[in-house]
């Protein structure tokens, strides 16, 4: 059964889609009046939708100014991945130390299989979403609601980083293999190797995004 959505929900998702697809590139300003005219909605609808995206990190807005699609600086990127490391390295060590980890990792393996099943030439957006789904399943496997909330709070900024990583993986198989090797170590319960592979995976992204 189709779910009904409000004008605010529809506008929020459309703006989010355009931002993450690059149709609204970093630095784009989004004045409320222009958005209201473009989408034929009331300004309060625009204001609420924009606020939702500001809270999710997809837009930024200073007091009294139009919202802007953020340009993630090197500092921003490092901070996003610093937070990811705090969560994901802890998750990796936790999972390797727990009994019943193979069963807990089943959803992660399923996410891995979906990534491998992407057709050759799949749009980068689909690859990036499969990447995020893998990491989200990994955090979910830890079984901590609060840790999951922390991770999902980073998701939109993670997506914005991943949009820029396409050139770093001209061979999509390289990205897939990084995840496969990490999962192999997790399934073997080898915490040192799993942590090393997770750190290398995240550090490689930071290097590609910052040029450092």
The total number of structural domains in the chain stands at 2
Average pLDDT, the chain: 90
Residue 199 near residue 89, CB atoms below 8 Å: yes
Q: Are residues 96 and 61 in the same domain?
A: no
Q: Is pLDDT larger for residue 201 or for residue 72?
A: 201
- Could you tell me if residue 149 is inside a domain? yes
Quote the domain boundaries for residue 52.
7-68
- Could you tell me if residue 33 is inside a domain? yes
**Of 41, 68, 95, the domain-final residue:** 68
pLDDT (0 to 100) of residue 3: 53
Per-residue model confidence as pLDDT tens digits over 143-189: 999 999 999 989 888 988 888 888 888 888 899 999 999 999 999 99
Q: Are residues 82 and 57 in the same domain?
A: no
- Could you tell me if residue 181 is inside a domain? yes
Q: Are residues 95 and 158 in the same domain?
A: yes
**Of 68, 92, 117, the domain-final residue:** 68
Q: Is the pLDDT of residue 50 over 90?
A: yes
Q: Are residues 98 and 17 in the same domain?
A: no
Long-range contact pairs involving 105-110 (C-beta distance under 8 Å, separation at least 24): 105/141, 105/183, 105/186, 105/187, 107/137, 107/140, 107/141, 108/134, 108/137, 108/138, 108/141, 108/183, 108/186, 109/183, 109/187, 110/137
Q: Which of 130, 107, 139 is nearest to 178 (CA)?
A: 130
- pLDDT confidence of 65, banded at 50, 70, 90? confident
Q: Are residues 58 and 78 in the same domain?
A: no
Residue 2 token pair: 């189709």
Provide mean pLDDT across the span 183-203.
Answer: 95
Per-residue model confidence as pLDDT tens digits over 91-126: 999 999 876 678 889 999 999 999 999 988 888 888
Q: Are residues 86 and 154 in the same domain?
A: yes
Q: Are residues 114 and 200 in the same domain?
A: yes
- Could you tell me if residue 2 is inside a domain? no
Q: What CA–CA distance (Å, rounded) separates 33 from 187?
A: 53
């Amino acid at each position: 059964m189709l779910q009904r959505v409000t004008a605010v929900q529809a506008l929020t998702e459309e703006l989010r889609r355009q931002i993450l697809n690059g149709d609204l590139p970093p630095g784009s300003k989004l004045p409320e009046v222009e958005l209201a005219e473009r989408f034929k909605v009331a300004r309060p609808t625009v204001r609420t939708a924009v606020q939702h995206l500001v809270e999710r990190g997809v837009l930024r807005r200073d007091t009294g100014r139009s919202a802007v699609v953020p340009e993630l600086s090197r500092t921003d990127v490092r901070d996003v991945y610093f937070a990811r490391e705090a969560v994901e390295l802890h998750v990796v060590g936790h999972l390797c130390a727990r009994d019943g980890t193979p069963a807990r990792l089943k959803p992660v393996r399923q996410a891995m299989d979906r990534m491998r099943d992407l057709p050759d030439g799949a749009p980068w957006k689909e690859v990036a979403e499969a990447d995020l789904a893998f990491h989200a399943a990994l955090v979910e496997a830890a079984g901590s609601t609060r840790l999951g909330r922390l991770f999902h709070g980073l998701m939109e900024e993670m997506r914005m980083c991943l949009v820029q990583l396409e050139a770093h993986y001209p061979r999509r198989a390289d990205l897939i293999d990084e995840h496969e090797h990490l999962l192999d170590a997790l399934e073997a319960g080898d915490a040192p190797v799993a942590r090393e592979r997770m750190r290398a995976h995240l550090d490689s992204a930071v290097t590609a995004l910052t040029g450092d």
